Amino acid sequence: MDRRARLATGFVTRRLTVEIERWPVAGAFVIARGAKTHVDVVVAEIAEDELVGRGEATAIYYHGESAESVAAAVRGMAEAVAAGVTRLDLLAEMPRGAARNALDCALWSLESAQLGRPVWALAGLPPPHPLITAYTISLAEPAAMEAAAGRVGDYPLLKLKLAGEGDLARVEAVRRGAPDARLIVDANEAWNDRDVVQEAEALAALGVELIEQPVRAGEEARLDGIHRPVPFAADESCQDRDDLDRCVGRFDAVNIKLDKAGGLTAAMLLAEAARDRGMEVMVGCMLSTSLGVAPAYLLAQHARWVDLDGPLLLARDRPDGFSYDRAIMRPSAL
């Protein structure tokens, strides 16, 4: 008798629990859309007999999600979870987004516990090794960003949050504060009224190696046929593999986040499809604890750019979370 049949007959029981947890940010996390002093994450736990799988998700606020709406969507799957829903079922039955991410990752975690095999092996991913992650410099006036860069000047890769007006001065200031660091920038859709090529050429002269989401999602046609002196990465423009076709030829890379794609399962499909189309892969995250970052860390093993500093930006993390030696991140098991 297979597991689903055993669940149906009561030989095995599955229980879903959902909690919202609040984690304080170290100082404030500021982007073009506003500032955060804390993040509310949704944790889904699926227990089967004595084994438990856990997944964490952060609401995609620019999609109108909230921690409460995500938790409600996860709780709405309780009967399906009890009946033995699978990861492939989730792809068919739930929309992309944070709720599906929490459940998908919980199912990966549960299967890992049941089979005694690590998630990376179950997923056919390479064995994990320590990675260098970008460290985010929050949006601020140039002097403040220069000072922030000076404090982390030994980090090899910095990610700058930009806002449109005054961006060149911000990047120049960070370059003064961290003259040897590699730089990537996130425009957060803020260059809509600016000359994208001119902005990109100015940043290329300062050694910027990647520009995320210069224009609004839905307005990708503004990038048709333009010269890209620095690779452009799609973030808001690409949630999962269904969005790739409108990004090809307009972006050179895609920033994959599990909360956008709706889980590790969907994120792996997106990474494969992006590479098939000749695009580079970046793996990022929302503000989250190490529980939320852990599945993305596995996907990031072959990414060109890694931006998994979510736990590093919090005032505290889970006790069994990642260790960060400045920019080098490794799970506690390594």
Residue percentage of the chain with pLDDT more than 90? 87
What are 184-221's pLDDT values in tens digits?
999 999 998 899 999 999 999 999 999 999 999 999 99
The arithmetic mean of pLDDT across residues 65-89, rounded, is: 97
Tokens 């939320």 belong to residue: 292
Extract the tokens encoding 233. Answer: 């990465």
Where do runs of H (alpha helix) occur along 42-97?
Answer: 67-75, 78-82, 87-93
Residue 334, pLDDT > 70, answer no
- Give yes or no for a contact between 295 and 108, defined as CB atoms under 8 angstroms apart: yes
What are 2-28's pLDDT values in tens digits?
555 555 555 568 999 999 999 999 876
Residue ranges and CATH numbers for the domains of the chain are: 3-122 (3.30.390.10), 131-330 (3.20.20.120)
CA 323-326-332 angle, 5° bins: 10
What are 82-133's pLDDT values in tens digits?
999 999 999 999 999 999 999 999 999 999 999 999 999 999 999 999 999 9
How many Cα atoms sit within 13 Å of 70 on the Cβ side? 32
State how far the Cα of 218 lies from the Cα of 23, in Å rounded to an integer. Answer: 32
Q: Which of 128, 123, 126 lies closest to 266 in space, CA to CA?
A: 123
State how far the Cα of 294 lies from the Cα of 291, in Å rounded to an integer. Answer: 5
Least confident piece of the model among 20-29, 160-169, 272-281, 294-303: 20-29
pLDDT in the model for residue 86:
97
Please give the positions annotated as active site: 161, 257
| Mean pLDDT rounded to a whole number for the chain | 93
Looking at the DSSP bridge assignments, the partners of residue 164 are none
Least confident piece of the model among 5-9, 51-55, 96-100, 307-311: 5-9
pTM higher than the cut 0.75: yes
Give the DSSP letter of residue 191: -
